[in-house]
Structure 1
Amino acid sequence: MKTNRLIFVIAALIAALNSCKQRDITKDSPLITVTSPLRDQDLMDSTAFNVEAIIEPKNASVIRYYIRILDSERQPVFEKKVDCNCIGEKRVNVKQAVEYDVNQTTNLLLRLSATLDDMTNIQEEVPFKMVNVKK
């Protein structure tokens, strides 16, 4: 009888902890579509480029999103936080011009993440390459 109570208490604790845990969809979220840069695209470093994406949350609203571009050591070379509080909007269009000059061809990673009003974090990662055009 004590064993059954112990099992019940442990199960209740596990259920309580899981219900308090923040839901997190980390990589390759179907709720974020990055249209620029494309995955594995080569971009020339002589001109600015646009980061463009669409965030389409289901049954929630975007309260903020982050645009980060990371170098090969995962160090940020560009970061921007946008508090949008887009309550009720089914679609959030992201567009940000970025200029980044490199001394040599460099692999980069675009990490676009968003926080929804139900405290869910969603994220999409897109690797791309900046090609040095200066000789």
Structure 2
Amino acid sequence: MSRPPLPPFTDETAAQKARMAEDAWNSRDPARVALAYTPDSRWRNRAEFVTGRDAIVALLTRKWARELDYRLVKQVWAHAGNRIAVRFAYEYHDDSNNWFRAYGNENWQFDADGLMEIRIASINEHPIDQADRRLLWPEGPRPVDYPDLTALGL
């Protein structure tokens, strides 16, 4: 299975890859997200280490069961060859309607078919007031004209 754009990445194709990942994550569909990864993909997500698509689906299913009204923005930080580094921010609330914003960095490595084989994520979060939210579009992909992280001051 091929998942263009393929490495080596240019500024344009790295940004396209990041936006495709952002749109998939904003779907909150674990099975859809998992298809962008190799069958034996390795993840570090906070303090959790998982391998393979089934484990990715399980992690994301747990994540989105507790992170409600999730909205995410990813932005390329750097790229070279088959690797892309992105920074991101996302907002969500828990089942008690407490809001949070998380920030982080991800390091991605892709195989020749454009599937991600390694994802290393470092994430920090803090509580926010609902009035301080900045990621306010309707559920689904971020609209094309919605500001990126830099424009949002994040």
Bigger strand share:
1
Could you state the TM-score of these two structures normalised by the residue count of structure 1?
0.27
Higher relative contact order (CA 8 A, sep 6+): 1
Could you state the TM-score of these two structures normalised by the residue count of structure 2?
0.25
Bigger helix share:
2
Structure having the higher Rg? 1
